[in-house]
A and B are shown apart, each in its own frame.
Chain A
């Protein structure tokens, strides 16, 4: 009984591991597994019940393996341990050394399905993915009731195992793209995926990038529409969202939930988001350019009023803008960490006290406060928090260029940003690609 001894020594290091002896049809067997993953009393009841049936059918213990679990013949110790860490129950028959892997009754370790927390839905389905992979797949299945839905399951990692599922629709996905994705995933299964950066690295995306190559979403509705459009969806266990590959620029502006509104509103929302992005990127740069480099562009009344509001401000416009922008970024960053109960206080402190005080102390001009407030709000009109971050970053490039070259720097900065976006691609699919399902013609 090498295996049993091995498990017993392991139990000394691993308090979570249980070894429970029980009698099943005259045979003494040992059950092994992790208490944190398995509901032992329920599982034992299940086993007893199964064996009652076996006795009634007059079947030997070994034959039951075919019906209940998987035999681990000549199983080595690592295979048994990895089966246990995946949440299975191991049954060891002491006399014959027979070893069986059984799916037990699991403990309930995940929350129930809740409303999304980072993507709000006003009109439409509000169930969101939760951390548990199987629940997520179940939710997707209820949204996509199609026989074309295909799934591949993978286990990533050697030290920290993590399950992943790749979903796509048969016949809808571009075959070259699908092939590239699956080949890449299959060749990197030995990597640990503790976070999304590691996933990016495993998928071969560059580390230094402003645009994430996959879109994350909490909403099953978005996954269903992405699958229908021929995209590939990746789920990781313990991540409460789906990753949609490839990520495209239009995903910043277009959301499936828009289609729950009349067409006119749909177009208006999308235009509004585009305006939001432009405002967010351009406004701080434009302010700096107009105030410090090209004041002649402004209408004279406006130029005077800006000049008047900046009369006592001691620094150049770029420092003034950076000062306030960094403060706003700090508030944003802090408000993510804060408990929900303190959020409103911070809004008040940040918005009213800080804003008012900073103007009265003549640290920044009134107009800058207006511009930066609009900018910050506008950056969140885009869909997805990850997209909002990339937008937030790119305005600093435009800001610096405008501080040096004025309006010229601003516009050249736009071209640089456009060029950068144009150079991004995911498995050969450019970021600016206008995605269509495969049965439609490629545009």
Chain B
């Protein structure tokens, strides 16, 4: 049974959860004019990566990326997937820590950090313990409940926009792509490549049509554009670059007279954090899946609990936001690996598998 709808919903939610907090800051920081070129370049990378990845997977369907890699031999699979495991662990730590920090910064200022981290981890571990299929159904339900609301906020966010800020469209820096190796641009890539790996882990459990997922990816382009351009058009480049979370500041300026709530932002942010919880549970599931394939005797639910506790302890040892940023930067290297090596390896191995299958059916 094709479950593309669930996969599409999960794909949208996990990406939207990642985009709105740090991504606009990084893009606005990486260049001062012609942000669209940076967004489009990143988006093109995103499409290329998931295109290669899903194509490779479709050749070997319904095998997961772990199975495909295991065909080359256990050693090679371990070598290929070990950085991925490291990447997942880092993402888990960074996401839990960073989003708890964001929550305390923007609201809940009196709440201790550990309590928020405990909530995020407990809920995402619970969701991942329910199993991958429940997780995807949850994603669909959450999407039905929250996406209309987000759509409303997107529409409202254009309230204070001054379209003249869109100019100039281009300068030398944007045209020459010289920003590509700047630190903040590389950091911004996390929004494009943070979530795609799940597409490779789910095929044995949640079959989907990869073309439909590619179409869903195109829905993300306006979201990326909105996340950067709304703050830019509201405040202008110079002001927007001063804010820690420019998009959230931009929505904070929106005033809806007919609503009983003063800060629509808060509901918006919290919905995004709920998406991040789903994202976290997905990564916890992927990580335990990797561990379980490496050491089959591990009990999945116990592994999840141990993992959650370990992440919690590590997160407690990260003292401040500066260290989080440092960790984010370190994570760029495994991310580049995951972005480039994994899709290409999947495609090559997928084609090989396909040929073998055709040669001796």
- Residue numbers of A with Cβ under 8 A of B are 293-294, 296-300, 302-303, 404-412, 414-416, 418-423, 430, 432, 442
Which residue among A300, A302, A410, A416 has the maximum number of chain B CB atoms within 10 Å of its CB? A416
- CB-CB under 8 A from A418, the residues of chain B are 138, 141-142, 145
User: Does A419 lie within 8 Å of B130, measured CB to CB?
Assistant: yes
Q: How far is the CA of A300 from the CA of B134 in the complex (A)?
A: 41
Q: How far is the CA of A374 from the CA of B355 in the complex (A)?
A: 64
A379 to chain B, nearest CB (A): 18
B217 to chain A, nearest CB (A): 23
- Asked if B127 CB lies within 8 Å of chain A CBs, one says yes
Residue on B nearest A412 in the bound complex, by CB: B123
User: Does B130 lie within 8 Å of A423, measured CB to CB?
Assistant: yes
Task: Give B117-138 interface residues, CB cut-off 8 Å to A.
Answer: 119, 123, 126-127, 130-131, 133-138
| Contact count band on B | 35 or more
* Stretch of B55-63, B262-270, B314-322, B326-334 lying at the A interface: B262-270
Given known A-B contacts A405-B119, A432-B140, A411 and B270 have beta carbons under 8 A apart? yes
Residue A408 contacts which of B107, B127, B138, B141 (CB distance < 8 angstroms)? B107
- Asked if B277 CB lies within 8 Å of chain A CBs, one says yes
- CB-CB under 8 A from B1, the residues of chain A are 442
- CB-CB under 8 A from B170, the residues of chain A are none
User: Does B274 lie within 8 Å of A412, measured CB to CB?
Assistant: yes
User: Does A298 lie within 8 Å of B130, measured CB to CB?
Assistant: no
26 contacts between A and B (CB under 8 A): A293-B108, A297-B262, A297-B267, A298-B260, A298-B261, A298-B262, A299-B259, A299-B260, A405-B108, A405-B119, A410-B270, A411-B270, A411-B271, A414-B142, A414-B145, A414-B274, A415-B274, A418-B138, A419-B130, A419-B135, A420-B130, A421-B141, A422-B138, A423-B134, A430-B134, A432-B141
B341 to chain A, nearest CB (A): 33
Residue on A nearest B278 in the bound complex, by CB: A415
- CB-CB under 8 A from B278, the residues of chain A are 415
- CB-CB under 8 A from B131, the residues of chain A are 423
Q: How far is the CA of A423 from the CA of B134 in the complex (A)?
A: 5
B328 to chain A, nearest CB (A): 23
A249 to chain B, nearest CB (A): 8
Residue A297 contacts which of B103, B263, B277 (CB distance < 8 angstroms)? B263
With A418-B141, A418-B145 given, can you name 7 additional A-B contacts, CB distance below 8 Å? A299-B260, A411-B270, A411-B273, A414-B145, A415-B142, A432-B140, A432-B141
User: Does A422 lie within 8 Å of B107, measured CB to CB?
Assistant: no
Residue B127 contacts which of A297, A302, A415, A442 (CB distance < 8 angstroms)? A415
- CB-CB under 8 A from B79, the residues of chain A are none
Which residue among A404, A411, A414 has the maximum number of chain B CB atoms within 10 Å of its CB? A411
- CB-CB under 8 A from A442, the residues of chain B are 1
Residue on B nearest A299 in the bound complex, by CB: B262
Residue on B nearest A295 in the bound complex, by CB: B262
- CB-CB under 8 A from A415, the residues of chain B are 123, 127, 138, 142, 274, 277-278
Q: How far is the CA of A300 from the CA of B260 in the complex (A)?
A: 9
Residue on B nearest A413 in the bound complex, by CB: B123
Q: How far is the CA of A294 from the CA of B261 in the complex (A)?
A: 11
B137 to chain A, nearest CB (A): 4
Q: How far is the CA of A411 from the CA of B107 in the complex (A)?
A: 14
Q: How far is the CA of A37 from the CA of B138 in the complex (A)?
A: 52
- Asked if B111 CB lies within 8 Å of chain A CBs, one says yes
Q: How far is the CA of A404 from the CA of B274 in the complex (A)?
A: 16
Which residue among A302, A409, A418 has the maximum number of chain B CB atoms within 10 Å of its CB? A418
- Asked if B89 CB lies within 8 Å of chain A CBs, one says no
A412 to chain B, nearest CB (A): 5
B289 to chain A, nearest CB (A): 18
A148 to chain B, nearest CB (A): 25
Q: How far is the CA of A152 from the CA of B83 in the complex (A)?
A: 57
Residue B107 contacts which of A294, A420, A432 (CB distance < 8 angstroms)? A294
- Asked if B180 CB lies within 8 Å of chain A CBs, one says no
A313 to chain B, nearest CB (A): 21
Residue B137 contacts which of A407, A416, A430 (CB distance < 8 angstroms)? A430
User: Does A412 lie within 8 Å of B119, measured CB to CB?
Assistant: yes
- CB-CB under 8 A from A298, the residues of chain B are 260-262
Q: How far is the CA of A421 from the CA of B273 in the complex (A)?
A: 20
B202 to chain A, nearest CB (A): 15
Residue B270 contacts which of A300, A408, A421 (CB distance < 8 angstroms)? A408
- CB-CB under 8 A from B119, the residues of chain A are 405, 408-409, 412
B286 to chain A, nearest CB (A): 17
